[in-house]
Amino acid sequence: MLRIEGLTKIYGDKKAVNDLSLHINPGEIYGFIGRNGAGKTTTIKACCGILRPDLGEIYVDGISIKDNPIECKKRMAYIPDNPDLYEYMTGIKYLNFVADIFEVGRAEREELSARYADGLGLTDDLAQPISSYSHGMRQKLAIISALIHSPKLIIMDEPFVGLDPKASHVLKTLMREICDGGGSIFFSTHVLEVAEKLCDKVAIIKDGKLIISGPMEQALGGASLEEVFLESEGEDRL
């Protein structure tokens, strides 16, 4: 579903991402771990067509994001780490806007927005302007807007930040349901316990280079994800 081949992104003289390759199959939840500044967000943004890679190729459902970004974007949804949304819209108007862009039918958008908003506990607030939303409410709205067009691939940057425990639980359940239905999820997180329990595969990035990737059991080799991650950080460990 998502194939990253030799992705390299350079800022000035620093390689933010260095020759990174990953392959995410349909039905997989792929966790992306790394310390702050390791290159996670840069990789994610390049996958979503927001950032132009200096080298390498990214394919979504076999389509090159460089050659046909719109077709790729039609198949995916992106939730950033800090969802700045249109403050001049209400929650429901924002959902309607996203549904319009993805050409979601009226009945389908009504059904999906009601289902996900109820699940995440945002229904009562949908008539409020987004400017009055808390961080968690914005995060919930961004999640609903990502799901409203039933994407095949969801890319999320720190999706659990700001969510209340119930919404976190609902999101984890939804992620599993989506992947069980053949969708794929690629997300970054610092919550290693969640990644360990939820992900089928994991990748650890350090200084722009992928140092571990593969099925969770194989990557852990009997240890916990926290131990593996701290081990990978080597000399920086406290």
Partner 1 sequence: MIKALLKKQLLELLSHYIPKDKKGKPRRGISLVLYALLLAYVIFILSFSGYFTANILCVPLSASGLDWLYFAVVGIIAAIFGIMGTVFASQSQIFDAKDNDTLLAMPIPPKKLLFVRALSLYIQAFFFEAVIMIPGIVVYVLNVKLEVTSIITSSMTVFLLPVFTLALSLILGWLVTLVGGKVRNKSAVVTVLSLMFFAVTFYLYSKINVILMTVANNGERIAGKIKNVLYPLYQMGKGASGDIKSFFIFALIIAIFFGAVYFILSRSFILLATSSRGVKKKKYTAGKMKARGASSALINREIKRFFSSPTCILNFGISSIMLIVAAVFMFVKASSFERLIEISPEIANIAPAVIAAAACLIGSSCVYSAASVSLEGKTMWIIESLPVSMKSVIISKLKLQIALSLPAALVFTTAANVVMKPPLLYTTLTIVTVTAYFVFFGACGLVLNILAPNLNWSSEAAVVKRGMSVTVSIFGGWGIVVLLGVGYYFLSRIAPVWICLSACSIVLALAASAAIIWLMRRGVKRIAFI
Q: Are 167 and 136 in contact (CB under 8 A)?
A: yes
Contact flag: residue 73 with partner 1 (CB under 8 A): yes
Which tokens belong to 118? 């109820």
Compute how many other C-beta atoms are within 10 angstroms of the C-beta atom of residue 94. Answer: 22
Task: Please list, in sequence order, all residues whose beta carbon lies within 8 angstroms of the beta carbon of residue 67, skipping any fewer than 6 positions away.
Answer: none
- Helix (H, G, I), strand (E, B), or coil: what is residue 33? strand
Contact flag: residue 115 with partner 1 (CB under 8 A): no
In the region spanning residues 126 to 185, those forming contacts with partner 1, defined by CB under 8 A, are 126-128, 132
Contact flag: residue 124 with partner 1 (CB under 8 A): yes
Binding-site member from 38, 58, 98, 163 for partner 1 (CB under 8 A):
98
Binding-site member from 4, 7, 29, 85 for partner 1 (CB under 8 A):
85
Binding-site member from 71, 177, 227, 231 for partner 1 (CB under 8 A):
71
Q: Smallest gap, in angstroms, from Cβ of residue 32 to partner 1?
A: 17
Q: Smallest gap, in angstroms, from Cβ of residue 129 to partner 1?
A: 9
Q: Are 229 and 204 in contact (CB under 8 A)?
A: yes
Put the strands of the sheet holding 29-33 in their side by side order: 76-79, 153-157, 184-188, 29-33, 201-206, 209-215
Write the binding mask 25 to 64 for partner 1: x where contact by CB under 8 A, - elsewhere: -----------------------xxxxx------------
Contact flag: residue 21 with partner 1 (CB under 8 A): no
Compute how many other C-beta atoms are within 10 angstroms of the C-beta atom of residue 191. Answer: 16
Residue number, 55 or 92, with CB nearest to partner 1: 92
Q: Are 34 and 54 in contact (CB under 8 A)?
A: no
Q: Smallest gap, in angstroms, from Cβ of residue 174 to partner 1?
A: 19
Q: Smallest gap, in angstroms, from Cβ of residue 74 to partner 1?
A: 4
Could you tell me which stretch among 13-21, 30-38, 76-84, 224-232 binds partner 1 (CB under 8 A)? 76-84
d(CA 31, CA 128): 33
Residue number, 98 or 143, with CB nearest to partner 1: 98
Residue number, 118 or 231, with CB nearest to partner 1: 118
Q: Are 177 and 143 in contact (CB under 8 A)?
A: no
Contact flag: residue 11 with partner 1 (CB under 8 A): no
Angle, vertex CA 60, rays to CA 37 and CA 57, nearest 5: 60
d(CA 4, CA 59): 7
Q: Give the residues lining the site for partner 1 (CB under 8 A).
A: 48-52, 69-74, 78, 80, 84-86, 88-89, 91-93, 95-106, 109-110, 113-114, 123-128, 132
